Structure formats: C-alpha cells, structure tokens
C-alpha cells in the first residue's frame, strides 16, 4: 500500500485531490509525507473506518504534518483526525 500511495501522490494532477480510502485504521510514514510535501500542490482526502464509522480527514496542500510523526517515523490516522479535525460520513 505504501508504494501505491507514493505513486498516486505523484500521479495526482496539479491542484487535484488524492483520495485514500481504507476499511481500517493505519498510518502514513516518512516517505509518504515526503512525497506529499514534494508534490506540494495537491490535497489528500483520507477516509477510513473506525469503530464501525467512516471517518474523513482532509489534509490541505501545504500542510506540514511531518511534525506529527512519532519517534518511529509514522503518523497514525487517528492522530491526524485529532489534530486536523474530521467528519463522520
């Protein structure tokens, strides 16, 4: 999944939105966040399921979420939801 996300970040058209949708809670890692930062001109819409509910987190272009990485280089979806806000779909 990691490689697919990085490839899709690169392939997302300028000023576009990359939707990442999964049925489980997971995380983004350093390489994924670096690809997002390097692309610089896309948004990410993250949709995942938690406790039977679909959660949507929107990461606008230019957002520096690298500071949210834990000591192992990961940023969990729930942490993103806590910091950036979320909606229940």
Domain ranges of the chain: 2-88
Give the pLDDT mean for 5-9. 91
Region of poorest pLDDT, from 1-5, 43-47, 80-84: 1-5
Question: H or E stretch including 83?
Answer: helix 77-84
Rounded to the nearest 5°, which phi and psi values hold at 63? -70, 125
* pLDDT reported for residue 66: 76
Mean per-residue pLDDT of the chain: 91
Percent of the chain with pLDDT over 70: 100
Global pTM? 0.85
Cα-Cα-Cα-Cα torsion 70, 17, 35, 71, nearest 10 degrees, comes to 0
* pLDDT reported for residue 33: 87
Say what angle helices 2-11 and 30-39 make with each other, to 10 degrees. 0
The DSSP output letter for 9 is H
């Amino acid at each position: 999944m990691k490689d697919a996300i990085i490839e899709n970040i690169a392939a997302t058209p300028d000023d576009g939105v990359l939707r990442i949708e999964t049925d489980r809670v997971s995380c983004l890692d350093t390489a994924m966040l670096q690809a997002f930062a390097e692309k610089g001109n896309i948004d990410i819409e993250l949709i995942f399921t938690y406790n039977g509910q679909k959660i949507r987190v929107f990461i606008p272009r230019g957002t520096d979420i690298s500071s949210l990485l834990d000591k192992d280089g990961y940023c969990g979806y729930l942490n993103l939801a806590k910091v950036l806000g979320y909606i229940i779909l």
